[in-house]
Structures are given as C-alpha cells and as structure tokens.
Amino acid sequence: MLVTAPIDRARYFFVPRTSGRRLLALARLLGKHKPKELSFEGEERAKLLQHGVVTLAQAYVERHRESSSLLAADETALDQFADYLWGIVDDRLAHWEAFGLPAASRLAQQKPGNFDYAARIDKAREAFALRRQLLAEGLDFTRRPYAEQAEYMVTLWKVIEQDKLDARLNHLIGADFFEALRDVHDHYVAMVERRSSRAQGSAVNLRELALALQKDIQNYVIALLAMIRDDDPDNVAMIRAALRPIDALREQLERERARTRGEPPPPAANDTGADVEELLAEEQEVATAIGEPETPQGGEINPG
C-alpha cells in the first residue's frame, strides 16, 4: 500500500543527469506510469516527451547502422567497384593503342580489305591522348583514402566536362562502362560526404538530442508536480506512482556511486515505491530496440 505523506516537490525539480540511453529508458517508463487523468498541460508535455523518445531512439538506430560492419562492407564494396571501373577505363584506352603499332600502319597502307585499319588508328591516337590527359599518373589515386580519392575523381570529371571529353570517352570505352562510371562517381562522393558528417557531427547530435529529451522529461515532471493536491490522498498516491521512475533512477545512480567508491549500497527508499529492477529491465529493452550495448554505468549525459 502506498503512503500518502506529502510529496517532496523539491526532490523532483531537477532530473538527475545520466546517459542518453538511460534517459530513453526513464522517459519510456514515465510514459508507462502516466496517470489516467492528466491536466491539459500534462497531456501536452507527455506528447512532447513521446516525440523526444522517438527522435532520440531513431538517432541511436541511425548511428548504429552507420557504424555497423555492414555499412563498412558496403563502403568497401563501392570503393572496389569504383577502382575496378577506373581500371577498365585505363585498360580499354590502352587496348586501343594496339592499332598504333607499326603492323597496323602497314596493313592500313595495303589494298583496302574487310577491316578499316585507318579508322582504328585514328581512334588509337584519340585513346592515347585521352589516357595521357586523364590518367598520366596511372591509377595510384584508387589506392588513396576515400576522401582523397573522391577529390581526385571530382577533378577528373571536371576535366571531362570542361574539355567536353564525355562523348569521346563514352565511344572508346563503351556506353555501359561510361554510364556506370558516372553513376558510381555520384554515389562515391555522397558516401564520402556521409562519412565526413558522421565523423564531425553524429556524437554532437546525439548529445543535443539527449539534452533535449532530459528537458522534455523535466517539463513533464513539473506538469505532474503542478497537479498535486496535498489534501487528496488519492491524488497524492496517483502522482507518487507517476514519479516512481524518477525515484528508481535516483536510487540506481546512488547504487552505482557507492559501488564505485567501494561502499555498500544505500538502503532502498521504501517511501517512494521505486522499482530499480523495472528501470534496469527497461534499459535492456532500449538497448535491444536501438541495437546497441547496454547503457554504460555513470551519471553524466553522453552521446552513448
């Protein structure tokens, strides 16, 4: 049976700082313990809280996907495909140079037959010039880091476009390979941009979303506190039950701090009815839902 002593409002004015994943567990529990009768302000804050949960959870899922081995494999495969296509460009242009050999010239000077060597010799000269213009340094750029390779390929395509070499290159290497090369280039540049964004902004974004969710939690709790009627035992019991997840978080953080200091765990706060095990179970559900390891121990908001 829950006690009906007055609720210490000051205890809930500030939500303890913790990890983003634990905040997700806390917010989800607050939703599960939401009173059936909420004020208009409480309902609005509850909606914002739910939106914050969905937003942060999705951000974790996206980060997990971006950092997964599957994504790394996809990036490696795209890099290999781009390298292979540029190798084909180099090979096909080089193959045309066969018609630049002396034997082809001698055959072109003989009585015309079924094969037009002269036309192929002209293509050989064109292929030689193109290969020298685009790939004079060989294919070393395909062995550079992704960002450097992308920058080099951007330069190559600028030369192709500015000097109007696309039609000639398309003709000499074949339309299928040329169009694939152009398409893969766009995908490659986009891949490098995504990698750069992840390196520069993912952690910051998660931290900002976690801080936003903590604010949503705090605003929801304040709306609950505003509903308290100290002279109504049923009302006090209802709000106390809605605040249980906050008490569970506070108690779990105290346990962890005691463990860090090598001290015995503090006694449970029986007057709140806090259920730490429920919080820990919710944390495990969150970890499963977002595809990341269990929430690390600690008391500070962090992107993990």
What would the pLDDT profile of 153-199 be if each residue is shown by its tens digit?
999 999 999 999 999 999 999 999 999 999 999 999 999 988 887 76
Instruction: Phi first, then psi: give them for residue 233, nearest 5 degrees.
Output: -55, -40
pTM to 2 decimal places: 0.56
Tokens at residue 146, please?
Answer: 């992704």
pLDDT of residue 48: 96
Q: Are 286 and 295 in contact (CB under 8 A)?
A: yes
pLDDT of residue 274: 61
Q: Which residues of the chain have pLDDT under 50?
A: 1-3, 294-300, 303-304
pLDDT of residue 74: 87
pLDDT of residue 31: 95
Tokens at residue 264, please?
Answer: 């015995």
pLDDT of residue 269: 59
Listed by start position, the domains of the chain span: 1-38+232-304, 67-199
pLDDT of residue 2: 44
pLDDT of residue 268: 64
Residue with token string 């082809």: 104
